Copies of this chain bind each other. A is one copy, B any other.
Amino acid sequence: MLETIEQRKTGKAEAMNELNSMRNELIDLANAVKSAGIPVIITIDGWSAAGKGSQIAKLIKYMDPRFYDVESIRTPNEIELRKPWLHRFWQRLPKKGEFLILDGSWYRDTVNAFMYDEISKSQYKDRIEDINTFERQLADDGYLIIKFFLHITKDEQTKRLHKLSSSEITRWRVNPQDIINNENYEKFFKRYDKTLMRTNTEFAPWHIIAANDKITAQFSIMMTVTNAIKGACAAVESGEKFIDKPEFPVIDYKKSEFKMAKCKKLSEVKMDKSLTYEEYAAKLEKYQTRLFELQNRCYQKKIPVIIAYEGWDAGGKGGNIKRVANALDPRGYEVKPIAAPEPSELARHYLWRFWTRLEKDGHFTIFDRTWYGRVMVEPIEKLTPQERVDMAYQEINEFEHQLTEWGAVVIKFWINIDKDEQYRRFKEREETPSKQWKITEEDWRNREKWDEYEKAVDRMVELTSTNFAPWTIIEGNDKKYARIKALKTICKRLEDRLLELDH
């Protein structure tokens, strides 16, 4: 793609007036974005010294600074390196109606990491897939993504770096890497070109900007941004999906496909499993001790462990989690209870609040209720349109796949009880003063929707039991049995992963 770009020059006089009026238009457009509740992400990548910083400054010159956030993406810091690589970008997602403008993005990260041999060829390919997935997920959720690549020629880059280096005031802006990259311009050219081609999608097409001449570049950027925003606002108004006109042929994008694991329907699960107290006590001791050892090994090997708990109300999640937590060194895990989202969470992609809750590698993150609320409570309570819910199965598989790629062991439990057992437990809660806080009107209302939930659970298990993150349905009528099964499953999954790593 890059070789087609022609550098040209725009006279200052002819551009200035038009630029000014476009900037004024942008103020109104920013208000329209706010009203329409569109979250906008503008990424500015490109060659070092291509003028990314000053282009951003020009772009936002007249905008209200309360509604945008400009971030400069540098090499990841020590904490960021211990999270999934896309974590730091998820974390920065703008709210609906706000702008995030990135000086460098997941692209600079990826190309640099590859060129400096920090990631292998196959990791690079995984990242390209992750990027397309990430951008598609955001676009599907209504995010407007405008991607720029600021292109300058080698001569121009050499000249600019030389100029920056020769003044004492600007010298600090040139780092040694810039010089090396400049010397290897041709290699970077090839890599950038491939990267751009492979990520030029219908939902997030590239805008390559000829940036040898700054005014030309400014002009193209401003034009692209205003057009894209106009298009997106019009689309929101007409209820259609906005598609930015691509400047280059887009790739034939296909969603990732995942191998699925076998699974049962809830009605096929035999619910008569139980343990005597003696069996329970002995096994509890055994598996807790084993889990503690395994945690230690995972900590040393920096393996992240994600445990997701779902299940019927009064299914015994709390007590089950407690037995797992008890086995662990408390400095190495965190339990995240998931309640209804707060305003700042509702204003972003629904996966945001889970991405941002991930502990660093080597640690356990235990979710008490999870992202699967998206395909259970949200459609049943009509909180999310069915169309978006239907997309969630794929999105969730992608999310869990990215966690696995990061190195995580992803363990998912559905704690199953039957309807009679739930009734018994509800009644018991009502009759025991110390447990009354655990039972509310809402629990009874949810119970009335048992069949709807059962259908949703079956569908969820069927569509999200991947071979890397399979569901484990736990027979929960007997709490003792359920706890041991959870512990045993966790131990088995961790042992398998550790064995894999040893080979």
Stretch at the interface among A70-78, A144-152, A491-499: A70-78
A72–B331 CB distance below 8 A: yes
Q: Which of A63-85 contact B (CB under 8 A)?
A: 64-66, 69-72, 77-79
Whether, in the assembled complex, A385 has its beta carbon less than 8 Å from a beta carbon of chain B, the answer is no
On whether A28 and B434 interact (CB within 8 A), knowing A61-B326, A342-B342, the answer reads yes
A66–B335 CB distance below 8 A: yes
On whether A329 and B78 interact (CB within 8 A), knowing A65-B321, A368-B66, the answer reads no
- Chain B residues positioned under 8 Å from A172 (CB to CB): 300
Whether, in the assembled complex, A337 has its beta carbon less than 8 Å from a beta carbon of chain B, the answer is yes
B344–A70 CB distance below 8 A: no
Whether, in the assembled complex, A56 has its beta carbon less than 8 Å from a beta carbon of chain B, the answer is yes
Residue of B nearest to A318 (CB): B64
On whether A56 and B330 interact (CB within 8 A), knowing A77-B78, A79-B77, the answer reads yes
Whether, in the assembled complex, A60 has its beta carbon less than 8 Å from a beta carbon of chain B, the answer is yes
On whether A325 and B77 interact (CB within 8 A), knowing A103-B331, A331-B70, A434-B28, the answer reads no
CA distance A437 to B30 in the complex (A): 14
Whether, in the assembled complex, A178 has its beta carbon less than 8 Å from a beta carbon of chain B, the answer is no
- Chain B residues positioned under 8 Å from A65 (CB to CB): 321-322, 325, 333, 335, 366
A79, A321, A329, most chain B CB atoms within 10 A: A329
A interface residues, tally (CB under 8 Å) = 44
- Chain B residues positioned under 8 Å from A56 (CB to CB): 330-331
On whether A331 and B64 interact (CB within 8 A), knowing A78-B77, A300-B172, A343-B342, the answer reads no
- Chain B residues positioned under 8 Å from A69 (CB to CB): 334
A66, A71, A437, most chain B CB atoms within 10 A: A66
Whether, in the assembled complex, A101 has its beta carbon less than 8 Å from a beta carbon of chain B, the answer is yes
- Chain B residues positioned under 8 Å from A329 (CB to CB): 53, 57
A324 to chain B, nearest CB (A): 8
- Chain B residues positioned under 8 Å from A169 (CB to CB): 296
Residue of B nearest to A60 (CB): B330
Whether, in the assembled complex, A31 has its beta carbon less than 8 Å from a beta carbon of chain B, the answer is yes
Query: 0/1 per residue, A197-233, Cβ < 8 Å to B?
Result: 0000000000000000000000000000000000000
A434–B366 CB distance below 8 A: no
CA distance A329 to B300 in the complex (A): 42
Q: Which of A286-317 contact B (CB under 8 A)?
A: 296, 300
A31 to chain B, nearest CB (A): 7
- Chain B residues positioned under 8 Å from A335 (CB to CB): 65-66
On whether A330 and B66 interact (CB within 8 A), knowing A31-B434, A343-B342, the answer reads no
Query: 0/1 per residue, A83-115, Cβ < 8 Å to B?
Result: 000000000000000000101000000000000
CA distance A342 to B169 in the complex (A): 43
On whether A318 and B78 interact (CB within 8 A), knowing A53-B331, A57-B330, A343-B342, the answer reads no
- Chain B residues positioned under 8 Å from A437 (CB to CB): 31, 35
CA distance A28 to B437 in the complex (A): 13
Q: Which of A39-68 contact B (CB under 8 A)?
A: 53, 56-57, 60-62, 64-66
- Chain B residues positioned under 8 Å from A344 (CB to CB): 342
A42 to chain B, nearest CB (A): 12
Residue of B nearest to A169 (CB): B296
CA distance A123 to B103 in the complex (A): 37
- Chain B residues positioned under 8 Å from A35 (CB to CB): 437
Residue of B nearest to A299 (CB): B172
CB-contact partner of A66 in B61, B101, B318, under 8 A: B318
